[in-house]
Each structure stands twice: as C-alpha cells, then as structure tokens.
Chains A and B, each alone.
Chain A
Amino acid sequence: MLYFGEQELAAILLSLKVAIWATFLSLPFAVWVAFLLVRRRFWGREVLNALVHLPLILPPVVTGYLLLMFFGRVGFAGQILNDYFGITIAFQWTGAVLAAAIMAFPLVVRAVRLSIEQISPDLEHAALTLGARPITVFFTIALPMALPGIVVGAILGFAKALGEFGATITFVGNIPNQTQTIPSAIYGFLQMPGKDQGAFTLVFVSIVISVTALLLSEWLARRVQKRMHGQ
C-alpha cells in the first residue's frame, strides 16, 4: 500500500515547491507576452511567437540540454550568475524551477492569450476615451477581464510544472532529497528492484494533486466568470 518514506516525502515537497515557484515565475511574463502577441503589431512578432512555443515542440531533453549549455557552470549565463552573484542553478532545486517554468510557459501563454482575444479592443478604447492612461486601462480593464484565462493558465502551468520530467532530469539531475521531483523519483524507483511501493505512492499522490488542482481551477474559473458577467 502507500508508503511515505523520507525520500518520498522529500520528492513530494520539492515537487510542490518547484511547481508553485515555476507557476509564479512564468505567470507575469506569460501575461505580458500574451498581451504583446494579441494587441501589438511589431517587427519580430512571429519570431517571438515561435520562441514562446519552442519548449512545447522541442523534445524536453533538448530543452534541458540547452538550459545546461546556457545556465550550466560553464554556460554563458551560468558563468555570469556564478561569478557575479554566486548563484548556481544547474543541479539545484532552483534549476528545477527554471526548467519547469520554461516548460510551462507556452501553455500559460496560450491560455491567457485565448482569454485576451475575447476582450474587444473597443472596450479598451472606450476606457482610453474616458481619460484613463494605457497602463491604467491594462490594470483596470484588460487584466481583470483576462482573469478567467489567467486562472486556467496558472493551473495548467502548475500541472505541467508538476509533471515536468525530461528537461528537469537533464538540467538538474535526479539527486534524492535535492533535485528529485515526483516524476524523477518514480522513474528512479522503477529502476530499482523492490521500490515499487514508493513508485505507487508517488503515482497516487500525483493523481490527488492534479485532480485537486483541476477541481480548484474549475471552481475558481466559475467564480471569476460569475463576478465578471453576473447580473
């Protein structure tokens, strides 16, 4: 049956921590990028769009490898972070956050984008003609109206971050109690004889967390929808 040993608990806590951090890290950028893609016409828009979708279409291992090349100890950004700030993220839990955030990013952008596309630009123009500055219009009209999509995007991003495996294991490895998330722990347990119980426990926990997140998002989305279009 279920067995919660030290390694299992560590993996669960780390996964939750990584998924929550990754969600909050990618959300503001995703909202910003989604607005850029829907509302602005600029040179390089298609390039940005492609770049955003890259983690979705590349094999996750390739994303992990690129992260390692860029943020690893000898990578371009990794060296700067290490030399000037004393921060290392490869093979650290923070690296797992970065990998999960990047992998979740396109999903969050897509969900937010869908809800922004529903907002009539005329509504924002109406707010402008009333005298509100563009930044005010963003925070008072566009952002609240995009809230249902932002909620959905956040939950999707959280679920993706929780399940992220390929990029994470490539970038930060599979070190028990340090960088071992639920998926990498399940993978690890399956490699070792007699660890089936641990794997089963983590599978069960994954299902519970994911279903809870889904129900929560449905409930939140309904509430937001009601607030937005209620009478």
Chain B
Amino acid sequence: MRFSVKKVLLIFLLAASNWLQAQQVSEYALKASWIAKFASFVEWPNGQMQADEFRIYVIGDNPFDDLLDLIYKNRRLKKRKIKIYYIKNLEELKRCEILFISKSERYNLSKILESTKNKGILTIGDTRGYAHRGVHINFYSVDNRLKFEINEKEAKKSGLKIDALLLDYGKII
C-alpha cells in the first residue's frame, strides 16, 4: 500500500505542474482590482467628492493585507491621488468615496450603514447578505469565479449613479 500512496502523490505533484497553466489568481488581489473598476463606473453626486484625494476606507479586519497599498500606490482614480485608510471603529471614519466593510463588521452593519447614509459613499463588502442589508456592491464567488451583486436602490438613495455596463455584469437585487 505504501508503494501506491507514494505513486499517487508523485502523479498528483507532476499533474499539478501542468495544471498550473490554468492561472488562478488570488481572491483579494482580484477584489482589490475590481474596486478601481467600480470607481470608474460610478458617478458620485456633485460636490460630494474631495478635491485632492480619492479616499478608500477599509473598516474592520483587513482582508487585503497590503494588496490595496501595493496596487494603488502612485495611482489615480477620477484624477485624484488614491489614499487607503484602515480603521477598526466607526468613530474613525471620515469623509471618503469608498468604504469596504469587512466581514468582521457584520454585527455593526446597521450602524455603519446608518452613518454612511446620504453621504455619497460607495459601500462595498464581501459577506453573504450584505447587499440585502443595504451595502451597494457585494462580492460573492461561485465555483472559483468572483461575482458581485448590486443594491441599485440603496445606491440611488445615496446619490450614486451606477453605469449600465456595471449593472449588466452584476446581479441586481
């Protein structure tokens, strides 16, 4: 039996070398990249954006590690320099364009959404049920493909206009 076990292991390893051609990518690297795409296809209400910076806040446990910093270093969005902030508490939240709400905040979600209401902040999450509860864009995955759902109604309430192309790719709830 021990012969067979090792042979199976060898076959698995060698086969894996070939399968690598399939090129899977890191879940959070892809989510970080999507954030820029969302920003490009969302219009913020007049006067709601800051003049100098495009601010992205991450509230709660940071699932991106340093991916956001690495990807958005020296980049611009809406002709503004991108600044990333990581916060643990709602009290630290200041004026911003995008707020990524981590899974760790699901028991505070109502408070967070209350405080971002009508402030022109695009809220993004990646936790089951977030879009139903009022988060504007929520990631989910099916069979290793990243997808997202859009709560268009709540986005409209916040004064955000989501481009039809983005609505086509997302699941509207």
Co-complex (A, B)? no
Binding site for A on B (CB under 8 A): none
Residue positions of A touching B, CB distance < 8 A = none
